[in-house]
Amino acid sequence: MDFSLTEEQLLVQRTARDAAERLLAPKAAARDVSGEFPLQELAELAELGLLGVAVPEALGGAGMGPIAYSLAMMELGRGDASVAVAVSVSNMVAELIATNARPEVARQWVPRLVNGELVCGAFALSEPESGSDAAAMRTTAEKRGGTWRLTGAKQWITSGDRAGALVVWAVTDVAAKHNGITAFIVPGDAKGLTVARLEDKLGLHGSSTAQLVLDGVEVGEDQILAGVGRGFSLAMQALDGGRIGISSQAIGIARGALEQTIRYAGERQTFGQPIIKHQAIAMMLADAATWLDAGTLMTLRAAAAKEAKQPFSQLAAMAKLFSTEHAWKICDHCLQIHGGYGYVRDFPIERALRDVRATRIYEGTSEIQRLVIARNLLRGP
């Protein structure tokens, strides 16, 4: 495998790093306290092309591919995980519409997603009674003439109250089970679409998470993605790519925490020397650095496979499983090394620990990743 990056990929990485340090990190602690949604930050990231990194240039995106997108997400996660998750989902929605909508419909939505006009996109798959078991969803879509009426509820929808465009999954044929699920593009201001509640979360306070209610929301036939009954397979494909983004986000959070902890361990003195010279601390940092490097390589390997249009579902599942589980361990090690200081808001480590915890849940829990990996192993090479 060629581990070298192109000049274009390095430029995206530098752009995201500068944005993270200049726009995101300075306000991350305050945003964590206030819960303010990062409207201005998303607008500025859109101007930099970071809301459509892998979206084709013909639709207003950067056309840079999954590797550049992964690198960008690592940098943004390092700056502020709350903003990074909104960027991740919006990129996923823009790419999903770009590759699966009718050309005229893609032109209607995608340029406005990537330039920030629609603020961001939302991915409305999960429901109050249907999370990991997506095929058990209860939201329905009934065809009436040339339109479909969507009725039901969606849960855990990132940016669901702010998104100008949502991809919503609904059952169009109950008897067909998972083959009877269809994906629709729904405007954020659609009549009948309401926000039932916003969740009060452990972390990611600057990212809104909504429960949505659809009460007879009307959607045109042309707003269907990939065709009637193709929604379930479309969701699984999108989640494969989304797992690369969340793995990248987790790596970014862990990298930021580790960098801060290395600085702290070099300055903090106990027993007459910096704590980094104590073997117990050095071993924890060595483990963290090794896990971080492994997760980074696994994630870029999955991104490279996707970019080469090779099978990447297994690679993405393995990358997400390893990176998110070990990012949690890295942040926990970092808090432990900080001691009491790591447990208070004066230091950013406790926020990193709270923020990184969600990466083991969304875009497929760690348990689901293990099922995906195991099933692929059973199929053989």
In this structure, the strands spanning 147-158 and 273-274 are: unpaired
Catalytic member of 142, 325, 363, 367: 363
Radius of gyration of the chain (CA): 21
Distance, C-alpha 290 to centroid of its chain: 24
- The helix (H) or strand (E) run that includes residue 8 is helix 7-19
Residues 37 and 83: their CA atoms lie apart, in Å, by 8
Rounded distance, CA 185 to CA 168, Å?
6
**Active-site annotation holds for 363:** yes
Cα(320)–Cα(366) distance, rounded to whole angstroms? 8
For the beta carbon of residue 201, count every other beta carbon within 10 angstroms. Answer: 17
Residue 244's contacts (CB-CB under 8 Å, 6 or more residues apart) are: 66, 69, 70, 299, 302, 303, 306, 312, 316, 319, 320
Nearest in space to 93 (alpha carbons), one of 192, 215, 263, 238: 238
Indicate which residues carry an active-site annotation. 363
